[in-house]
Amino acid sequence: MKTQSDLRNIAIIAHVDHGKTTLVDEMLKQSGTFEAHEQVSERAMDRNDLEKERGITILAKNTAIKYNDTKINILDTPGHADFGGEVERILKMVDGVLLVVDAYEGCMPQTRFVLKKALAQELTPVVVVNKIDRDAARPEEVVDEVLDLFIELGANDDQIDFPVVYTSAVQGTAKLPEDTDTKGMEVLFDAIVNKVPSPKDNIEDSLQFQVTMLEYNDFLGRIGVGRIFRGEVSKGDRCVVVKRDGSEHTFRVSKMFGFHGLEKVEVEHASAGDIIALAGVDDINVGETICKEREALAPVRIDEPTLQMTFLANNSPFAGREGDHVTSRKLEERLYRQLETDVSLKVEETDSPDAWTVSGRGELHLSILIENMRREGFELQVSKPQVIIKEIDGVKCEPYEHVQVDVPEAYTGSVMESLGERKGEMLNMEQQGDGQVRLEFKIPSRGLVGYSTEFMSQTKGYGIINHSFDSYQQAFDGQIAGRRQGVLIANEKGKATTYSMLQLEDRGVMFIEPGTEVYEGMICGEHNRDNDLAVNITKEKAANNIRSATKEQTTTLKRPRIHTLEEALEYLGDDEYCELTPASIRLRKKTLDTSMRERETKRKKKIST
């Protein structure tokens, strides 16, 4: 059997903001992959604008470095559970994982989510304790926590005997736990080369290549990225694509690319174990097999979506003002185009020709899609996110999440009370020192919808909340506490005036600034009470010719609460839509007409009594 011994395929696993992208930057610099005259931009692996802005990795990406005579393919995976679809496909392409944990924060819920999948696939782990230059770093304790987590997640004996490397990605240094002096990244490279196995795929067998990621090029069309699991392939070869439904067709490989640094490099030939990009077949999809003997690999199993929303074409009075793409046909095309590269997403038609049910892995997953669409010039409306109820063995089940909260001691009472109202079950509580407390809960996913904003106000911005999907469990019957306040709704079209807003300040908190254009049914603030209130926010001050004694007095409005996209989606009620355009985020009632809405409310009250 012939294999490639000078090759290593690894994935990097880390919680959001534990420094994995910065670590990859340093590995690229210190391996000599870049020439002396080449510049490596900061966080070079984050290539998407949203990734750079938010400091998170959304799309899995690959790069390759050369260390001595060994080529190391590095796959940077998303650290957030919402992008679990990306993570699962990546893990199938590698033989080992780098688990990056913060030397102060230790193991976090999202680390746990990806690590569980990696251990189940029997991948070889190398633990990297990063940010050891932090003042509050506690690397020895963190390594003990990692060991406990491995045991809890069912790691085998070989996996529990993991190598540990201490690093500071920012300073570009690394060392073994027993070393006193720090060195360069060669300590980490040696651990990868010595501990992670080379691919065991046989080059002499017939070709099997599985597509795990898709890219698109205007000249080449669709490009399938994946690993060759056996055999070899050359440019110009005739191959067979085996589709998910079992159908197949032949094509000729027009171009092949390998990876070097952050660039794709055209290659003529590739063998078992290599990670390559392959062009020449237009309708290739994720999970499909390219082979020569019509033997398909088992398709990649992807976690099911847990959250769904309705996407609609914008039909508000302001539709078409700010966007380039406003028709339902354009919206439908864009949603179905997203399915080509996002395997965790589902799009289904509804009774209405202008609305689609879009299901994803979580609020972040769907909000990233919406934000990308806004930037592309789309106008759309979305409904409140709803969890997906599944029937398992005849029992209705809903998704539950594992929640970890770090808060100052003074706020633990209010956080425990509100999570309790949302049907959260407390699993653990421990003092962290410095007056900080760590709380762990298991809670239905729908109990967390809309909670982040409330949590930030409860903890005055000092709290940190992390959560990841745990499992499907028997659905809780009945309602779960949600938004407590009603809203202030504009009752006519016009511009919001300072005069009207001053009169309404005692009624609640405003969401808009003076001069903002509003329409009937648009939500312009939060009511102090639990009922909705229609208000005239466009009223001008009556002009008269009598000089007022208080004319020279200046009045100051309180600052409005301007929602980000995530906050707006969390705030939505069942009878509301979020209107999204490239320039604006507006909340509105589904029924815009004030009198019709009042009649509907009365009808609902009659039915409930």
pLDDT of residue 109: 67
E strands present in 218-345 = 221-230, 232-234, 238-242, 248-252, 255-260, 263-266, 269-271, 275-279, 289-291, 307-313
Distance CA 467, CA 450 (A): 13
115 lies in some domain: yes
CATH number of the domain that residue 96 is part of:
3.40.50.300
157 and 113, same structural domain?
yes
CATH number of the domain that residue 513 is part of:
2.40.50.250
Distance CA 182, CA 333 (A): 53
268 and 219, same structural domain?
yes
140 and 14, same structural domain?
yes
576 lies in some domain: yes
312 lies in some domain: no
pLDDT of residue 546: 64
What residues form DSSP beta bridges with 525? 488, 510
Distance CA 339, CA 112 (A): 27
pLDDT of residue 588: 94
Tell which of 276, 291, 306 closes a domain: 291
Distance CA 123, CA 83 (A): 20
314 lies in some domain: no
155 and 126, same structural domain?
yes
328 lies in some domain: no
The set of long-range contacts for 214-221, using a CB threshold of 8 Å and a minimum separation of 24, is: 214/284, 214/285, 214/286, 214/340, 214/341, 215/277, 215/341, 216/340, 216/341, 217/279, 220/254, 220/255, 220/279, 221/279, 221/282
Of 411, 458, 460, 461, whose CA–CA distance to 439 is shortest? Answer: 411
279 and 144, same structural domain?
no
496 and 456, same structural domain?
no
pLDDT of residue 587: 94
47 and 186, same structural domain?
yes
350 lies in some domain: no
Tell which of 291, 315, 330 closes a domain: 291
Q: Tell me the per-residue pLDDT of 2-12, one tens digit each, with 9 for 90 and over.
A: 777 888 999 88
596 and 534, same structural domain?
yes
pLDDT of residue 183: 82
Q: How many domains does the chain have?
A: 4
Tell which of 150, 168, 195 closes a domain: 195
Host domain of residue 168: 4-195
Residue 397: its H or E element: strand 395-408
List of the chain residues with pLDDT < 50: 36-38, 40-47, 51-52, 54-60
Alpha-carbon dihedral sign for residues 490, 491, 497, 500: negative
Are the C-beta atoms of residues 237 and 252 closer than 8 Å to each other?
yes
How far CA 316 is from CA of 4, 172, 330, in Å, comes to 60, 53, 17
- Contacts of residue 77, defined as CB under 8 A and 6 or more positions apart, other chains included, come to 11, 12, 13, 57, 60, 86, 87, 90, 91, 114
How far CA 313 is from CA of 122, 320, 355, 363, in Å, comes to 46, 10, 7, 20
pLDDT of residue 84: 56
- Contacts of residue 366, defined as CB under 8 A and 6 or more positions apart, other chains included, come to 307, 309, 358, 360, 385, 569
Are the C-beta atoms of residues 211 and 226 closer than 8 Å to each other?
yes
536 lies in some domain: yes
**DSSP secondary structure code for residue 493 in this structure:** S
CATH number of the domain that residue 454 is part of:
3.30.70.240
425 and 566, same structural domain?
no
281 and 189, same structural domain?
no
515 and 470, same structural domain?
no
51 and 145, same structural domain?
yes
526 lies in some domain: yes
Are the C-beta atoms of residues 465 and 438 closer than 8 Å to each other?
no
CATH number of the domain that residue 259 is part of:
2.40.30.10
